Structure 1
Amino acid sequence: MKLSDIADLPLTYSDVGATASTLPAGYHHVQKSAVIGRGRQRFEEAAAAGMRWGMLRGAGVKVRATTALAAVGSEVIVHLGPVQAPCRVVYVVEEPDRGGFAYGTLPGHPESGEELFLVRYDPATEDVFAEVTAFSRHATWWSRLASPFTSLVQRVVTTRYLKAL
């Protein structure tokens, strides 16, 4: 699969942007966070790395993207072993104390849904958090068949995302 093959594909779900608020019913939900450091400088560094696909790459996931930095409309193919998962960035968070992006699934992805990769700074405690929020459901026969395994992989990879930055 090439990046040019996915440029015109539609997203595979209708709840676009829902990782920014209430997660939609009918999906498996993931909301995890971890403290990854302290201080404004740590936040700035982690947020910048995150926008360069850092949570993914730092977790050992191969990433091919149309842009070096995540931007709305960027296409990305995530490789986890032999599985290729095409996605498109649907929104970016650029706030004084929050930075990151969310991408949604495209046809060919084994799941259907959205995932948010966020770095957050808490000025009160100076803690810096890595956060992952997602909703998904199986989109292929083989991901449904391998449901116990794919759920385990999602939990393991999500934990690795939180440690990646």
Structure 2
Amino acid sequence: MDELTYTEVGATAGELPPGYHHVRAQRIVGHGEEDFARAADDLFAGLVQRRAGASIRLSEVPLRTGTHIEMRLRLGPFAFTIPCLVVWAERTAEFCGFAYGTLPGHPERGEERFELRLLASGDVLFSIVAFSAPGRWFTRLGGPIARNVQARWTRRYLAALGPRRP
């Protein structure tokens, strides 16, 4: 397995580790089995990141544990390569998700988890859980700016799933 840049692999599934910035966010993105299935297909094809504005390349689609992800983001005049490895992926009729961890070269170090649940009410809940710390000199130097960028991307990810409009 590739060398991840953190040791707490899988921690987004439970209590988040100390010493990192933590993110927990969620949104209802649809209702019913059809919306859940569509959102799950989109999630496992990398469309959340693409719709949020990242260029993304997956080593395989649909993604699974072991899939390499390379994202590219532009922030003004700067472009960043963001390499990740899927460390967990699961899909059932009422639950699915994956988590990716950071690889060398990523601006941060940590893990991000994306989950969809078909609730008993029929609502489709999209959740994001992450922990991260600066991984490169420029994210250490730009601490508060990096947190603002992360918060903006989390909002964009949450907005990326939902009913398709005609």
TM-score (norm 1): 0.91
Aligned to 2:5: 12
Q: Secondary structure at the match of 1:104?
A: strand
Find the aligned partners of 1:100 and 1:55 in 2 and give their Cα distance. 12
Which of 27, 39, 44 is the matching residue for 1:51?
44
Q: Which amino acid aligns with 2:8?
A: D
Which of 127, 131, 147 is the matching residue for 2:127?
131
Q: Does 1:152 align with 2:145?
A: no
Q: Which amino acid aligns with 1:98?
A: F
Alpha-carbon offset, residue 9 of structure 1: 3.6
Find the aligned partners of 2:41 and 2:95 in 1 and give their Cα distance. 11
Which of 99, 102, 105 is the matching residue for 1:102?
99
Structure 1, unaligned runs of 5 or more: 1-7
Find the aligned partners of 1:12 and 1:58 in 2 and give their Cα distance. 26
Contact 1:111/1:139 (<8 A) preserved = yes
TM-score (norm 2): 0.91
Q: Deviations over 1:83-141 (max 9, x none)?
A: 11110000002133211210000000010000011111102x11111111100000111
Aligned length, in residue pairs: 157
Q: Which amino acid aligns with 1:142?
A: F
Runs of 4+ in 1 over 3 A off after TM superposition: none
Give the aligned CA root-mean-square deviation in angstroms: 1.1
Alignment of 1:21-32 (within 5 A): 21-32=14-25
Structure 2, unaligned runs of 5 or more: 162-166
Matched-pair identity in %: 41
Alpha-carbon offset, residue 68 of structure 1: 1.8
